[in-house]
Structure 1
Amino acid sequence: MKIIVPMAGRGSRLRPHTLTVPKPLIPIAGKPIVHRLVEDIAGVLDQPIDEVAFIIHESFGKQVEEELITIAQKLGAKGTIYYQNVALGTGHAIMCAKDSLSGPAVIAYADTLIRADFDLDTSADSVIWVKQVDQPEAFGVVNLNESGEIIELVEKPKEFVSDLAVIGIYYFKDVAVLKNELQAVLDNNIIHGGEYQINDGIKQMMAKGMKFVPGKVDEWMDCGNKNVTVETNSRMLDFLHQDGEKLILKGIVSENSTIIEPCFIGENVELKNATVGPNVSLGYGCKVENSTIKNSLVQNLTVIKNANLDNAMIGSHVVFNGNFANISIGDYSVLE
């Protein structure tokens, strides 16, 4: 089994945090989004992963590439890097990894996190992962026949089709079939919204009678902008706390301070006259003094003093000394 992860976009809606770090590498509950995504998918598949192929922008740099290769290796898989340097759509991104498009594979876009527990129907030609939503008109949804098979993809339907939204994760029994259809999309210059779309390849597979079925996830968490990313961090902390995962790491120095779980506290964090939590992630090497922090996401090696933070997102190497509560500060910023 392979996992193909298109992630070349910089994540403009999450700026300033993505000015220095690609969105899929933003940590959620102490671990990068893409790392959690790949692990969660591997858990659902419950079978060996042979390769994880990442499609990135070349400007991400060698350090990012090395981190991604390490993520694959932790799953016992080979890590492969491909480049998409021009944003030409989801279909084009997948085809940038065409040398890896063979055999059974999952394609997953690295801007979402899931919680799921279902048996993958490997007899189907494809499984499209979906989540039941309250406002289907805001999403792309699937249309099912009486047998529960997917017969149509409908983007933001004005009339009710179903309440099962496509979340951007797909299984293909032989991803080479999708590869052939997407090659036809490129060759025939089939463009929607100015881009080559994965849906056009999928629709051609459906037109040839291939069997598509839904795989329903229990939780679907977005990381599109600051507010939803902070919310996703809180939800993930709660899930991990319920799972009994160790979230408070070694080397913490605490003086007259309180941690209210669930929280992720990275290594070598220093707390002085501080209350941290609930729903807070503090990356390694952070220092918090005379402050209260809740419902917030703070990355690494950041210093926070005299603050009362709620719904805050702060990058790495930041120095923040002030009384603003709902803030969004990128890496290497100083506010004193």
Structure 2
Amino acid sequence: MAGRGSRLRPHTLTVPKPLVPVAGKPIVHRLVGDIAKVLGEPIEEIAFILGDPAFFGDEVVQSLEKLARELGAKPSIYRQLDPKGTGHAIMCAEPSLSGPAVIAYADTLIRASFDLDKDADSVIWTKKVDNPEAYGVVNLNEEHQIVELVEKPERFVSDQAVIGIYYFKEVAELKKELQYVLDNAIINGGEYQINDGIKRMMANDKIFVTGKVDEWMDCGNKNITIETNQRMLGFLAKDGEKLVADSVVQENANIIPPCYLGENVVLKNTTVGPFVSIGAGTVLENTTVKNSLIQNHTVIKNANLDKAMIGNHVKFNGNFEHISIGDYSVLE
């Protein structure tokens, strides 16, 4: 999670993208929790690979350490100070690369219920897509083992897209091959890639299989993040999760579910929903909002919002639609 999340600006100017809340919980918190459910066994350690301490500071570290401990795991923090690709990022956590491990990119959310095949040397999690030419996909043999990774294929290879979550029965095998990639300056797209380490493992007859997720949700930009928020609210409502805090204050207000409303949200002469997430301490007055994501301690008045994404500590008084406002903005 070392990237700056530039495609989600202005919302990532003050908050790292993996910590942007979706349906009331930071992206990385949801992802780690969902992976833990799929594994179904105790987790010894969770290693987080962060970027520059000036951006990923003490507050971020404390949040991640708390997340790991809540799952009964030891937290480890590593830094990738020079963005040299996924393979390089993984090797920044070299002291933790032993034993069975999951490696995940922290800007995606999943829903999955499959049983992890721990007899294989590795599992690459995939999702069936309608336009495989836009993704990296896996090529399978007759035994449904992965024999090739193909990036944005010009001809049809398969419709199983790689989503950026991997299981390794012995991650030291990947470490060995990535060290070779680094030592021999094997660079693709200007960076050291995890795929080059995986390809070397395949060349050594390691068995790779797919783990297919039911849902794969991206948080790459504002519109996609709003869509992910909608889908996640639907899933959580179906699961029966409590989404509206008891401390929410309603004065002539209407909530159309599913919606997430955090602690001490205040609604005055306002209709919220469906598919709206509102962070703690936010006040909405004379406002109608749907299909939107609003963060903490923000004040919105006299607005009619649809597909809006609004950050923390914002003051907004207006009548615009389809907006994207970052933290600490004021529109009055």
Q: Decide which of 38, 45, 56 is 1:44's aligned counterpart.
A: 38
| 2:50 is the alignment partner of 1:53 | no
Show the counterpart of 2:16: 22
How far did residue 83 of structure 1 move?
0.2
What SS does the corresponding residue of 1:69 show, helix, strand or coil? helix
1:307 and 1:77 map into 2 onto residues whose CA distance is: 44
Show the counterpart of 1:123: 119
Deviations 1:291-314 (A, max 9, x none): 000000000000000000000000
The code of the aligned residue for 1:49 comes to I
Q: Decide which of 205, 208, 219 is 2:201's aligned counterpart.
A: 205
How far did residue 126 of structure 1 move?
0.1
The code of the aligned residue for 1:48 comes to P
2:67 and 2:153 map into 1 onto residues whose CA distance is: 37
Show the counterpart of 2:75: 79
1:86 and 1:28 map into 2 onto residues whose CA distance is: 28
The code of the aligned residue for 1:19 comes to L
Show the counterpart of 2:7: 13
Show the counterpart of 2:324: 328
How far did residue 67 of structure 1 move?
0.3
5+ long unaligned stretches in structure 1: 1-6
The code of the aligned residue for 2:218 comes to D
Q: TM-score, normalised by structure 2?
A: 0.99
What SS does the corresponding residue of 2:269 show, helix, strand or coil? strand
Structure 1 runs of 4+ aligned residues shifted over 6 Å read: none
Any residues of structure 2 matched to 1:139-158 within 5 Å, and which? Answer: 139-158=135-154
The code of the aligned residue for 2:47 comes to A
What SS does the corresponding residue of 1:151 show, helix, strand or coil? strand
1:253 and 1:160 map into 2 onto residues whose CA distance is: 54
How far did residue 250 of structure 1 move?
2.3
Q: Decide which of 84, 91, 96 is 1:95's aligned counterpart.
A: 91
| 2:176 is the alignment partner of 1:180 | yes
Show the counterpart of 1:3: none
1:14 and 1:103 map into 2 onto residues whose CA distance is: 35
Show the counterpart of 1:138: 134
How far did residue 240 of structure 1 move?
0.2
- Taking only aligned residues, the RMSD between alpha carbons, in angstroms, comes to 0.4
Q: TM-score, normalised by structure 1?
A: 0.98
| 2:269 is the alignment partner of 1:269 | no
Aligned length: 330
2:96 and 2:328 map into 1 onto residues whose CA distance is: 37
| 2:200 is the alignment partner of 1:235 | no
Taking only the aligned residue pairs, the percentage that are identical comes to: 72
The code of the aligned residue for 1:17 comes to H
Deviations 1:204-242 (A, max 9, x none): 000000000000000000000000000000000000000
| 2:25 is the alignment partner of 1:31 | yes
How far did residue 197 of structure 1 move?
0.1
The code of the aligned residue for 2:87 comes to G
Deviations 1:155-175 (A, max 9, x none): 000000000000000000000
2:13 and 2:243 map into 1 onto residues whose CA distance is: 27
1:68 and 1:88 map into 2 onto residues whose CA distance is: 23
